[in-house]
């Protein structure tokens, strides 16, 4: 899932639609993110390529909106509501997810198993 | 019947007679008498044979599936070819044979002859081929490569009938018709060497293995047997292009019959080189011999070995995956060695990955295999499952699937995993709320917003519920944090109570699910006076001396019949005992919910009903244990509970249970009575009515009918007696009257167990301390020496009350009764005397104890958690933490993550 600068990025993605849950004054999604272009990519336990500075899902609250929608720990988020997440800072990513006027976020996420599944079916 | 395919991309190597076209011999015989007879004999070649394989283009239908149906010749050809498997393994000609199976897979076309790809035996999707199995009835299950149909599911996930990367076995496939020795198929015949059979390590010598049935008697969820799954490791067949049962069936059976005779005539599989391990080795017929049946039926097949099966789990074709998983499940059944090998071969992460597979057959079989693997004494497998995130994957699947069988498998696996102590917290973290929401609440019949008009629903005692309740039962024994999480889990306590209530209503209290639920309730009631939020509000300093503070609260009980609904907790003051006349119950504006239900007096009625009706020893023990837990401690609610037990006529119920034959029941009941006697009125009543039973439970050499109880039980009974004669000389008198002294003296003098001796001596000393009774004793022939024993450093009759650390006088006994390994000296150490070093030994023993109780009865390890658990656990953690803090190697900034 690494990218080559200048080349278009291709990945097999899954669409996930998360309906935020209202908790008091906040709308929460129920997961936590790590990564970003301002972060250290070598510490990412989920990425295949340790130079990948993308945004990854590091924790998922049990039973929360994200888990219910199918988000899994270790997923890399490619887009949120159409906005790219592969080249953003950590804070920008967080902000894109937590807009107060959005009840639903539609993500495109990718993970190793998706990639493998497609490769397998391509081979066969 | 068979016809040459119309299109061929590859040339066939061998010449094959087209069996489809009958040859006729016309012979003219002229007989002597001059007549001419013309005979025409039609010779139809036997069908069959597969010496050649042709690859052909398979035209794809509109849905991407090869349009087999449309091209009939191909279809039929394929058809028979596929069947061929049945007859003999002909079709799996090795690539060298250069013929390729006429499988309707496009991608085979080009690369086939060159590579070994594509020749392999896909596992036949067994699902849905009931008939097929029947026709194979004679073939033993689980024997390797039984030809079956693999249907290629037309679903979305279907890989593009692509090349199969598993090379086929280089089987020999001798010609079907004996006389037909394909001349041309020289290449193949080169391989016609008799197969070298070697004992196969994973062979299914004992076919009965697969016939085992799920045994309800297991504590742990038994291995999922493969009885109902008749997916043995069928020869993997490349999926047929059509889902074809309907298509093939009519022909199938007859083909089988035809083919079968040839099975025996065939050659041994040609073996080039046996290869092991990777997918590439599928083609070799291996050094292993097929299992007995397959030898009998077809000497050319052999079962795949374990690395091959695991490799097949990653095969692109889904039926292969699912069959491999099913075969794995079958292999692992009751075979610890294989389970271990699967783990070493890294099969477990693959299986966990398959749980996310969209196809039901795949994730169902994978889950079945995981369930078998997770069962057993070897906990490494459980750890391995957890390490590859198996627990979240299982929970995810549980949320997604509606299939009852899959849910049973998932929950069964979780039950197995939960029996291993380190995993309990992990399960709670990932799955508690989901299990509650997905299983417990729906199956219990509880509704969070009960509709007042409708009748409360009944619980459904499904297997899923049983498994889930078993899993929760295990995790609830994991200490204070686990208890807290379960108590605070939304809806759990409510639903469990509702389920129990409905069980009592239906008089169905002996089943396993009820047992599990009551055990959870007992565990959650443990230390409830210390652990629930706001507990300190209710703490009373002195048990039994509660004086009502403040005004009495009159509460109305509304809707008394419906449990779990809106019930205000309260009690009318009138009939309260003088000690507890005005219990200062908190004013309730709404019904009790969640964990508060644990200690509402209504549960008393529930537990008493269970105690009255159930015959299941575990359930009885748990219900008594729950009452024991609730009545322990100096807490307003426990005071209330103790009184309520009495008012609900619970004391006779408990006394009657003292007659039980089961050790654990007697033990739990006697400790419950002991706690209950903290209430003065109870003590009087228990003293008068229960003394006889208690004494009867003590061992005696003379009495032949005396029960043979374990040491822990005897100690418990002795301590109960001690408690009830404390502060009550009437009770001491009744003890004398029930001939108890004899037994006590005997125990104190000659018992093998130091604990029993000590306990008995305490009682005797206490009795002697009642001076007014001494006359009676001396009249019976007893003197002081009987009562003053040398061993006891008298803890004093007030010992139980004096210990500062204990507010629960049952606690030391709980320890003793829970841990048989402890020596007698340990229980006398009050918590506050233990120094830091004391903890290390405790840790050790704690660990032992924990694992002991965990492993004892498999999943049923929820004996009441030990009293010191909480504190020790904390110390454990802090000890460990202090080590970690020293780690200075990691100087990199911690990665930031943000919650969204």
pLDDT per position as a tens digit, A69-102:
999 999 999 999 999 999 999 999 999 999 988 8
A121 and B CB contact within 8 Å: yes
Confidence band for B674, pLDDT divided at 50, 70 and 90:
very high
Confidence band for A114, pLDDT divided at 50, 70 and 90:
confident
Q: pLDDT value at position B813?
A: 41
Q: pLDDT value at position B767?
A: 87
Contact A124 B164 (CB under 8 A): yes
Q: Using only C-alpha atoms, what is the Rg of chain A?
A: 14
Size of interface A-B (CB pairs under 8 A): 81
Residues of B in contact with A83 (CB under 8 A): none
Q: What does the alpha-carbon distance between residue B716 and residue B706 come to, in Å, rounded to a whole number?
A: 16
Confidence band for B62, pLDDT divided at 50, 70 and 90:
low
Q: pLDDT value at position B711?
A: 86
Q: Using only C-alpha atoms, what is the Rg of chain B?
A: 37
When pLDDT is averaged across residues B19-45 and rounded to a whole number, the result is 51
Residues of A in contact with B107 (CB under 8 A): 124
ipTM, 2 decimals? 0.86
Q: Which residues contact B772 (CB under 8 A, 6 or more apart)?
A: B729
B326 pLDDT above the threshold of 90: yes
Question: Chain B residue closest to A92 (CA)?
Answer: B898
Q: What does the alpha-carbon distance between residue B487 and residue A70 come to, in Å, rounded to a whole number?
A: 27
Residues of B in contact with A97 (CB under 8 A): 900
A23: helix, coil or strand? Answer: strand
- Record the tokens describing residue B615, joined without a space: 């015959």
Contact B897 A58 (CB under 8 A): yes
Q: pLDDT value at position B86?
A: 40
Q: How far is B596 from chain A (nearest CA, A)?
A: 23
Going from the N-terminus, what domains does chain A have, and what CATH number goes with each? 13-122 (2.30.42.10)
Region of poorest pLDDT, from B16-30, B502-516, B845-859: B845-859
Q: Are B456 and B565 a contacting pair, CB within 8 Å? A: yes
Domain B303-419, CATH class in plain words:
mainly alpha
Question: CA triplet B182, B184, B185: central angle to 5 degrees?
Answer: 70
B826 pLDDT above the threshold of 60: no
Residues of A in contact with B429 (CB under 8 A): 62
Span B140-170, pLDDT tens digits: 343 444 444 433 333 334 444 444 434 444 4
Q: Decide if domain B424-449+456-538+591-634 falls under CATH 3.30.1180.10.
A: no
B749: helix, coil or strand? Answer: helix
Span B261-308, pLDDT tens digits: 433 433 334 444 444 444 443 444 444 444 555 555 677 778 888 899
When pLDDT is averaged across residues B518-528 and rounded to a whole number, the result is 92
Domain boundaries, chain B: 303-419, 424-449+456-538+591-634, 649-761
Considering chain B, what percentage of its residues have pLDDT values greater than 90? 23
Domain B649-761, CATH class in plain words:
mainly alpha
A17 pLDDT above the threshold of 90: yes
Helix B711-725 vs helix B811-818: crossing angle, to nearest 10: 170
Q: Which of A33, A43, A68 sits opposite B900 (nearest CB)?
A: A33
Question: CA triplet B79, B85, B88: central angle to 5 degrees?
Answer: 130
Return the DSSP state at B697.
Answer: H
Element (DSSP H or E) covering residue B146:
strand B146-147
Contact A121 B162 (CB under 8 A): yes
Span B713-735, pLDDT tens digits: 889 999 999 999 888 888 888 88
Q: pLDDT value at position B449?
A: 66
Q: Which residues contact B33 (CB under 8 A, 6 or more apart)?
A: none
Q: Are B123 and B309 a contacting pair, CB within 8 Å? A: no
Nearest to B762, CA basis, from B742, B775, B750, B747:
B747
Confidence band for B764, pLDDT divided at 50, 70 and 90:
confident
Query: Is B649-761 the same fold as B424-449+456-538+591-634?
Result: yes
Does this model's pTM top 0.80?
A: no
Question: Chain A residue closest to B239 (CA)?
Answer: A124
């Amino acid at each position: 899932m690494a990218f080559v600068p200048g080349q278009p990025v291709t990945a097999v993605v899954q669409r996930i639609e998360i309906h935020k849950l209202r908790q008091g004054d906040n709308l929460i999604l129920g997961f936590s993110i790590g990564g970003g272009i301002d972060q250290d990519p070598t510490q990412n336990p989920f990425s295949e390529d340790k130079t990948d500075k993308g945004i990854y899902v590091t924790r998922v609250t049990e039973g929360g909106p994200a888990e219910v929608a199918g988000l899994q720990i270790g997923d890399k988020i490619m887009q949120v509501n159409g906005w790219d997440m592969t080249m953003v800072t950590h804070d920008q990513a967080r902000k894109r997810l937590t807009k107060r006027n959005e009840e639903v976020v539609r993500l495109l996420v990718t993970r190793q198993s998706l990639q493998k599944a497609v490769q397998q079916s391509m081979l066969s | 019947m068979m016809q040459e395919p119309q299109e061929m991309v590859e040339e066939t190597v061998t010449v094959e007679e087209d069996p489809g076209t009958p040859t006729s011999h016309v012979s003219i015989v002229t007989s002597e008498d001059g007549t001419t007879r013309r005979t025409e004999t039609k010779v139809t070649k036997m069908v069959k044979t597969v010496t050649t394989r042709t690859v052909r283009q398979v035209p794809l239908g509109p849905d991407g599936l090869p349009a087999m149906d449309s091209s009939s010749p191909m279809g039929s050809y394929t058809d028979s070819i596929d069947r061929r498997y049945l007859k003999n393994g002909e079709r799996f000609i090795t690539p060298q044979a250069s013929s390729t199976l006429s499988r309707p897979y496009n991608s085979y076309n080009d690369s086939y002859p060159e590579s070994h790809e594509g020749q392999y035996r896909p596992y036949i999707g067994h699902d849905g081929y009931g008939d097929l199995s029947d026709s194979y009835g004679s073939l033993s299950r689980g024997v390797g490569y039984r030809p079956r149909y693999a249907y290629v599911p037309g679903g979305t996930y279907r890989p593009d009938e692509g090349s199969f990367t598993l090379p086929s076995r280089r089987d020999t496939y001798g010609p079907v018709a004996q006389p037909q020795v394909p001349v041309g198929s020289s290449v193949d015949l080169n391989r016609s060497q008799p197969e070298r059979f070697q004992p196969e390590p994973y062979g299914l010598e004992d076919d009965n293995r697969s016939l085992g049935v799920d045994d309800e008697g297991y504590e742990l969820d038994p291995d999922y047997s493969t009885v109902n799954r008749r997916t043995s490791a069928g020869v993997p067949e490349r999926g047929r292009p059509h889902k074809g049962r309907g298509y093939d069936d009519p022909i199938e059976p007859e083909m089988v019959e035809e083919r079968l005779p040839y099975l025996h005539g065939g050659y041994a599989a040609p073996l080039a080189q046996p290869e092991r391990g990777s997918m590439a080795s599928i083609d070799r017929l291996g050094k292993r011999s097929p299992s007995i049946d397959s030898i009998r039926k077809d000497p050319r097949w052999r079962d795949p070995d374990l690395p091959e099966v695991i490799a097949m789990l990653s095969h692109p074709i889904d039926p292969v995956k699912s069959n491999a998983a099913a075969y794995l499940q079958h292999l692992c059944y009751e075979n610890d060695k294989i389970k271990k090998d699967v783990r070493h071969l890294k099969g477990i992460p693959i299986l966990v990955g398959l749980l996310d597979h969209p196809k039901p057959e795949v994730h169902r079989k994978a889950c079945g295999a995981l369930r078998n693997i997770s069962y057993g004494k070897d906990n490494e497998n459980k750890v391995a499952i957890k390490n590859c995130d198996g627990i979240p994957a299982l929970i995810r699947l549980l949320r997604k699937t509606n299939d009852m069988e899959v849910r049973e498998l998932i929950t069964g696996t979780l039950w197995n995993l939960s029996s291993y102590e380190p995993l309990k917290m992990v399960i709670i973290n990932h799955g508690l709320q989901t299990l509650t929401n997905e299983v417990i609440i729906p199956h219990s019949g509880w509704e969070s917003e009960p509709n007042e008009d409708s009748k409360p629903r009944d619980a459904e005692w499904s297997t899923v519920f049983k498994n889930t309740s078993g899993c929760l039962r295990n995790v609830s024994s994991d200490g204070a944090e686990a208890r807290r999480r379960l108590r605070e889990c939304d809806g759990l306590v409510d639903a469990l109570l509702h389920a129990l209530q409905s069980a009592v209503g239906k008089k169905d209290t002996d089943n396993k699910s009820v047992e599990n639920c009551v055990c959870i309730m007992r565990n959650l009631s443990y230390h409830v006076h210390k652990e629930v939020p706001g507990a300190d509000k209710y703490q009373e300093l002195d048990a039994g001396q509660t004086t009502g503070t403040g005004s009495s609260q009159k509460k109305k009980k509304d809707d008394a019949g419906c449990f779990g609904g809106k019930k205000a907790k309260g009690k009318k003051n009138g009939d309260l005992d003088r000690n507890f006349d005005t219990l200062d119950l908190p004013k309730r504006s709404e019904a009790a919910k969640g964990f508060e239900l644990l200690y509402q007096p209504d549960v008393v009625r529930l537990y008493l009903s269970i105690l009255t009706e159930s015959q299941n020893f575990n359930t009885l023990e748990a219900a008594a244990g729950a009452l024991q837990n609730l009545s322990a401690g100096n807490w307003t609610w426990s005071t209330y509970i103790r009184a309520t037990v009495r008012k609900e006529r619970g004391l006779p119920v408990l006394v009657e249970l003292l007659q039980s034959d089961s050790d654990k029941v007697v033990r739990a009941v006697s400790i419950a009575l002991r706690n209950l006697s903290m209430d003065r009125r109870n003590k009087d009543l228990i003293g008068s009515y229960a003394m006889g039973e208690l004494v009867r439970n003590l061992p005696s050499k003379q009495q032949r009918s005396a029960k043979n109880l374990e040491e822990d039980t005897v100690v418990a009974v002795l301590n109960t007696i001690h408690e009830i004669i404390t502060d009550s000389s009437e009770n001491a008198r009744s003890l004398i009257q029930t001939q108890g002294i004899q037994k006590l003296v005997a125990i104190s003098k000659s018992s093998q167990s130091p604990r029993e001796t000590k306990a008995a001596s305490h009682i005797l000393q206490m009795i002697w301390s009642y001076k007014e009774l001494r006359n009676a004793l001396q009249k019976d022939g007893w003197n002081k020496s009987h009562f003053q024993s040398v061993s006891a450093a008298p803890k004093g009759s007030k010992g139980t009350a004096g210990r500062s650390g204990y507010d629960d006088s049952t606690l030391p006994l709980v320890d003793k009764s829970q841990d048989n390994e402890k020596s007698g000296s340990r229980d006398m150490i009050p918590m506050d005397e233990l120094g830091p070093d004391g903890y290390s030994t405790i840790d050790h023993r704690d660990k032992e104890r924990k694992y002991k109780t965990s492993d004892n009865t498999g999943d049923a390890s929820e004996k009441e958690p030990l009293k010191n658990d909480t504190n020790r656990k904390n110390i454990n953690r802090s000890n460990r933490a202090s080590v970690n803090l020293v780690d200075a190697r990691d100087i990199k900034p911690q990665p930031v993550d943000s919650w969204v």
